[in-house]
């Protein structure tokens, strides 16, 4: 599947050489990309809906989690001319996570944000704030936004606002992962203004230090 995606990308870079054949090839490329995305997200869905292994839940600093996912999406954002700003709360905390699953969930959110601002010289803001016993990871973009009707349905399986390449599984998978970690996820969006997704996760309790 990765090889197919790579070959499709190489073909897309041959636009000038293809000349008048490009419009027809572009239609085929869109079909290939949509099929690849669907296969990848179906694989993610299978892994996500499988029985969660408690042994995979490990303590992880929120800062490390955010840094890891930013490292994975930054090359794509840079290539698309998208700027990402990061704001981290000084009071770092730990959460219990299946890092593979949670990184996949955050990757879905950031990928959507990048796609929303691509071609507009847009900006994405990623922030982390501590709220008593929970931490909020918030991703905001100044892209095209979506309607209230779409905002109310984006977490439904197979519902998508990206008619050409979307499968409607990305945010559904993200919501499932967040809820499996006893967290919550909310989306707010205004057309022509942008979208914000807020994920809140419970922090691990720190043992109290006994005093003499």
Residues present in the chain in total: 212
14-30 pLDDT, tens digit each = 555 656 665 666 666 66
Give the pLDDT score at 168: 72
156-207 pLDDT, tens digit each = 988 877 655 556 788 988 999 999 999 999 999 999 999 999 999 999 976 5
33-91 pLDDT, tens digit each = 666 666 666 666 556 565 566 778 899 999 999 999 999 999 889 888 899 999 998 76
Rounded CA gap, 102 and 86, in Å?
A: 18
Concatenate the DSSP letters of all residues of 149-182 into one string. Answer: HHHTTTTSTT--S-TTT--S-HHHHHHHHHHHTT
pLDDT-derived band of residue 212, with 50, 70 and 90 as boundaries?
Answer: very low
Largest CA distance in the chain: 82
Which percentage of the chain shows pLDDT scores above 70?
67
Q: Which of 208, 195, 77 is nearest to 142 (CA)?
A: 195
């Amino acid at each position: 599947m990765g090889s197919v995606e790579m070959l499709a990308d190489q073909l897309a870079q041959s636009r000038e050489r293809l000349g008048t054949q490009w419009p027809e090839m572009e239609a085929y490329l869109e079909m290939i990309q949509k099929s690849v995305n669907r296969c990848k997200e179906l694989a993610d869905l299978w892994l996500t809906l499988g029985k969660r292994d408690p042994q995979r839940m490990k303590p992880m600093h929120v800062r490390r989690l955010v840094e890891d996912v930013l490292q994975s999406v930054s090359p794509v954002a840079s290539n698309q001319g998208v700027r990402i700003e990061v704001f981290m709360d000084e009071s770092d905390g730990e959460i219990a996570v299946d890092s593979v699953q949670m990184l996949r969930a955050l990757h879905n959110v950031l990928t959507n944000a990048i796609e929303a601002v691509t071609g507009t010289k847009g900006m994405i803001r990623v922030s982390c704030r501590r709220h008593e016993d929970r931490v909020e990871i918030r991703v905001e973009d100044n892209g095209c936004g979506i309607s209230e009707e779409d905002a109310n349905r984006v977490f439904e399986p197979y519902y998508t606002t990206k008619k050409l390449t979307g499968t409607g599984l990305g945010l559904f998978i993200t919501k499932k992962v967040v809820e499996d970690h006893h967290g919550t996820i909310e989306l707010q969006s205004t057309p022509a203004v942008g979208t914000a997704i807020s994920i809140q996760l419970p922090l691990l309790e720190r043992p109290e230090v006994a005093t003499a």
